[in-house]
Amino acid sequence: LITAGPTYEAIDPVRFIGNHSSGKMGFALAEEAAKKGANVTLISGPTALKIQNPNIEFHGVTSAREMFDEVFKHYYAADIAIMSAAVADYTPKIVAPEKIKKNEEEFSIQLVKNPDILKTMGEKKTHQFLVGFALETQNEEENAKGKLNRKNLDMIVLNSLRDSGAGFRGDTNKIKIITQTEQKEFSLKTKEEVAKDILDFINDKLPQNL
């Protein structure tokens, strides 16, 4: 089970809150996992990318709530869950039924917290090998380790916006993999190569009966 892309949180029928995620990392992971023979379910927020491997089961969603619901339709049957989507932490409390007109000099939107998909997966984990992602701008390792522990993950993939060539939209990434017992840093590579590194690392950690 792999998630990818952003989520869009509606403000009104024509506007939304989102982020710069392209979905490229998650799609690369799905394609590489399918090449390795895995049965892959890919759940993605809005993206222009298309699946190439016909053996990937694709589900498109828009909002964080929709992604939450779709993830838990498939999570319990999965052996490995790689959550690379950039899910919005907050969503507008009220979605305007009509387009909001430009009238006032200032305009405020009240936000409420979205359900934490990854934390819920950690709480409900049985046999799954659960992988999270952390995109950080400061105190990178400390924040990633905190997320690893808080959300009961088996490993976390850290990338920093301070690293040139890493982060959203680009075709390359530079990662560090962190578990409870080790860290492994990788050089800047294409996202396809990064996907291979991540999946090879996971494969080395899996029980042999999976």
Contact yes or no for 27/44 (Cβ under 8 A) = yes
152: annotated active-site residue: no
User: Among the options 19, 53, 143, 152, which is catalytic?
Assistant: 19
Contact between 154 and 205 (Cβ < 8 Å): yes
Nearest one of 5, 6, 8, 112 to 63, comparing CA atoms: 8
Q: What distance lies between CA 162 and its chain's CA centroid?
A: 19
Measured distance CA(23)–CA(138) in Å, rounded: 23
Q: What is the CA radius of gyration of the chain?
A: 17
Residue 193: helix, strand or coil by DSSP? Answer: helix
Give me the helices (H) in 75-190, please: 117-123, 140-150
- Where in the sequence numbering do the catalytic residues fall? 19
